[in-house]
C-alpha cells in the first residue's frame, strides 16, 4: 500500500509544486569524500572510457566507504562540460577527473572558479595549482603489440585503424611498425584514418577497407572493439586497444595496449583526502604499470610470448628504448642517427612515419 500512496503524492508534488521545491541536503558529520569522473563516451564502451571506469571502480574497491564516486558519461566537449563540472561541484565532489582532451578548456576555466576542488585532466597540457595533467606512454606497449602483429602476419602486411593524424597517434603507429619489424623483418603497416576516437560504424568500415586490401593482421588505436568484429568475420588476427577486449573475438585476439588508470586514481584520491595532493604532469609508462599489454590470446605461440615478455622486461628496466636510432622515415632517409635516443619533446611532437608505414601522417 505504501508505494501507490507515495506515487500519487509524488505526482502531485512534482506537477504542482515541483518547480518551487528545494531540498535541504542533510549534512552528516561522517560524509564520504566525493570524487567524480567525466567521460566523453559510455562507461561500458569496451574501450577508452571503460578503462577509466575500471580505474574508478578500483578507487571504490580500495578506499571503501570513505569515498563516494560518481561519473557523467556521453558528455559533449565544449560549454556543456562547464555545466557538468558546476553540477558536480555543487554535489560536493572534491576531486574531478576529466578523460578527454576536449574537456581541457572547460576544466581550466572551472579550476580557476573553484580553488578548493582538485581537477585532473587526462591528455592535455594546461596545469594550475589545482589542475593536474596525466597520461600514459602507450608507445611502449604498442611496440610489444606490434611484435605480436608481426609474428601473426604471414605476408608481413599489417593494417592499422587510426583515429586522428596527430603526434600522439603517429608515434603509436611508429611504435607498432618498429615492433612488427623485429618479429617480421620488412613488415609494412598500412594506416586508415577514421577522424574519430570512438565511432564503431566508421571504425568497422575502416577495418573492412584494410582487410579487403589483403592485410593479414590488424591493429587499432581506436576506442571501440569494432575492428575486432570486422577481423573476426574474415578470421584475421587482431590486436586491441584501451582495455582487454579478448572476449569480443577470443579466437583471433593477440594482445593489445591497455591502460591501468586505477593505481594512479587511487593514489591521487588518497592524496586529495589527506591534503598532500599537488599539481603536476604525470606521464605514466610500462615501468610504473599505467601502460601494459593485455593477456595473450590462445593463438600466440609460446616462443613469441617469450620474445615479447623479454622485451617488456627490457623496456621496464630501461635497458631498451624503442625510439633509438637508426630510424628512417618513409622515404628511407635517416631521421635519427644510430645510437641517438629521441627526446621526450621530439616524440611528443612526432609528425613523421617510420619506414614501412603506408599512409600519410597528414591524414587522408
Partner 1 sequence: MIRIERRLRESRWLVVAVPIGSLIGAVILSSIILLATGHDPLATWQRLLERGFFSEGAFSATLVQATPLLLTGLAAAAAFRMQTWNIGAEGQLYLGAVGASGIAIALQSQSAALVIPAMVLAGLVTGAAWAAIPGALRAFFRTNEIITSLMLNYVGGLLITYLIFDSHSYWRELSTFTSRVFPQGKYLSPSAAWPSLQIAGIGVPFGFFIGMFAAAGLWMLYRSTRFGFEARVIGDSRSAAHYAGIRTRRKIVAVMALSGAFAGLGGASEIGDFRHVLDPRGLQQASFGYGGIVVAALARLNPFAVIVVALLLGGLSNGGFSLQGADFPAGLVGTLQGLILFCALAGELLVHYKIRLGRPAGVSHKPADAARVGAA
* Residues making contact with partner 1 (CB under 8 A): 3, 7, 9-11, 13-15, 18-23, 40, 42, 69-80, 82-84, 86-87, 90, 101-102, 105, 123-125, 164-168, 193, 195, 345, 348-349, 351, 362-364
Least Cβ distance, residue 264 to partner 1 (angstroms): 19
Q: Which is nearer to partner 1, 193 or 265 (CB)?
A: 193
Are 55 and 264 a contacting pair, CB within 8 Å? yes
Q: Which is nearer to partner 1, 113 or 155 (CB)?
A: 113
Q: Which is nearer to partner 1, 11 or 234 (CB)?
A: 11
Q: Which is nearer to partner 1, 137 or 254 (CB)?
A: 137
Q: Which is nearer to partner 1, 141 or 347 (CB)?
A: 347
Q: Which is nearer to partner 1, 68 or 305 (CB)?
A: 68
Annotate 110-132 with b (16+ C-beta within 10 A) or e (fewer).
bbeebeebbbbbbbbeebeebbb
Three-state secondary-structure class, residue 214: coil
Q: Which is nearer to partner 1, 7 or 334 (CB)?
A: 7
Please provide the size of the chain in residues.
Answer: 364
Closest CA to 49 of 59, 60, 61, 40: 40
Least Cβ distance, residue 252 to partner 1 (angstroms): 30
Q: Where are the beta strands (DSSP E) in 185-280?
A: 188-193, 217-220, 237-242, 253-259
Least Cβ distance, residue 40 to partner 1 (angstroms): 8
Least Cβ distance, residue 22 to partner 1 (angstroms): 7
Three-state secondary-structure class, residue 332: coil
Q: Which residues contact 288 (CB under 8 A, 6 or more apart)?
A: 263
Write out the three cell numbers for 299.
593463438
Least Cβ distance, residue 204 to partner 1 (angstroms): 17
Q: Which is nearer to partner 1, 23 or 331 (CB)?
A: 23
Query: Sheet of 157-162: strands edge to edge?
Result: 291-293, 253-259, 237-242, 217-220, 157-162, 188-193, 357-358
Least Cβ distance, residue 295 to partner 1 (angstroms): 27
Annotate 240-272 with b (16+ C-beta within 10 A) or e (fewer).
bbbbbbbebbeebbbbbbbbbbbbbbbebbbeb
Closest CA to 243 of 56, 58, 52: 52
Least Cβ distance, residue 152 to partner 1 (angstroms): 30
Least Cβ distance, residue 309 to partner 1 (angstroms): 31
Rg (C-alpha) for the chain, rounded Å, is 23
Nearest-angstrom CA–CA distance, 343 and 185: 26
What phi, psi does 161 have (nearest 5°)?
Answer: -95, 115
Amino acid at each position: 500500500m505504501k508505494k501507490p500512496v507515495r506515487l500519487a503524492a509524488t505526482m502531485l508534488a512534482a506537477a504542482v509544486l515541483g518547480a518551487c521545491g528545494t531540498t535541504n541536503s542533510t549534512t552528516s558529520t561522517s560524509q564520504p569524500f566525493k570524487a567524480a569522473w567525466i567521460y566523453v563516451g559510455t562507461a561500458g564502451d569496451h574501450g577508452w572510457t571503460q578503462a577509466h571506469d575500471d580505474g574508478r571502480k578500483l578507487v571504490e574497491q580500495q578506499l571503501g566507504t570513505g569515498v563516494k564516486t560518481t561519473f557523467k558519461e556521453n558528455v559533449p566537449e565544449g560549454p556543456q562540460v562547464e555545466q557538468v563540472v558546476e553540477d558536480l561541484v555543487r554535489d560536493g565532489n572534491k576531486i574531478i577527473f576529466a578523460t578527454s582532451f576536449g574537456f581541457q578548456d572547460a576544466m581550466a576555466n572551472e579550476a580557476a572558479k573553484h580553488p578548493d576542488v582538485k581537477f585532473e585532466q587526462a591528455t592535455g597540457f594546461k596545469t594550475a595549482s589545482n589542475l593536474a595533467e596525466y597520461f600514459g606512454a602507450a608507445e611502449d606497449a604498442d611496440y610489444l603489440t606490434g611484435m605480436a602483429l608481426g609474428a601473426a602476419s604471414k605476408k608481413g602486411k599489417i593494417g592499422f585503424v587510426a583515429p586522428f593524424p596527430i603526434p600522439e597517434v603517429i608515434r603509436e603507429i611508429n611504435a607498432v611498425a618498429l615492433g612488427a619489424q623485429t618479429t617480421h623483418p620488412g613488415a609494412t603497416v598500412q594506416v586508415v584514418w577514421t577522424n574519430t576516437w570512438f565511432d564503431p560504424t566508421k571504425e568497422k568500415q575502416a577495418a573492412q577497407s584494410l582487410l579487403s586490401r589483403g592485410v593479414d593482421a590488424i591493429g587499432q588505436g581506436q576506442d571501440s572493439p569494432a575492428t575486432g568484429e570486422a577481423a573476426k568475420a574474415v578470421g584475421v588476427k587482431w590486436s586491441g586497444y584501451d582495455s582487454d577486449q579478448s572476449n569480443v573475438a577470443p579466437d583471433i585476439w593477440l594482445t593489445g595496449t591497455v591502460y591501468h588508470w586505477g593505481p594512479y586514481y587511487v593514489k591521487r584520491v588518497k592524496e586529495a583526502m589527506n591534503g598532500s595532493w599537488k599539481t603536476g604532469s604525470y606521464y605514466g609508462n610500462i615501468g610504473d604499470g599505467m601502460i601494459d599489454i593485455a593477456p595473450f590470446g590462445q593463438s600466440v605461440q609460446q616462443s613469441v610470448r617469450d620474445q615479447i615478455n623479454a622485451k617488456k622486461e627490457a623496456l621496464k628496466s630501461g635497458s631498451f628504448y624503442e625510439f633509438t636510432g637508426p630510424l628512417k622515415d618513409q622515404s628511407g632517409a635517416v631521421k635519427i642517427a644510430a645510437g641517438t635516443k629521441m627526446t621526450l619533446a621530439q616524440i611528443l611532437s612526432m609528425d613523421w612515419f617510420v619506414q614501412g608505414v603506408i599512409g600519410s601522417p597528414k591524414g587522408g
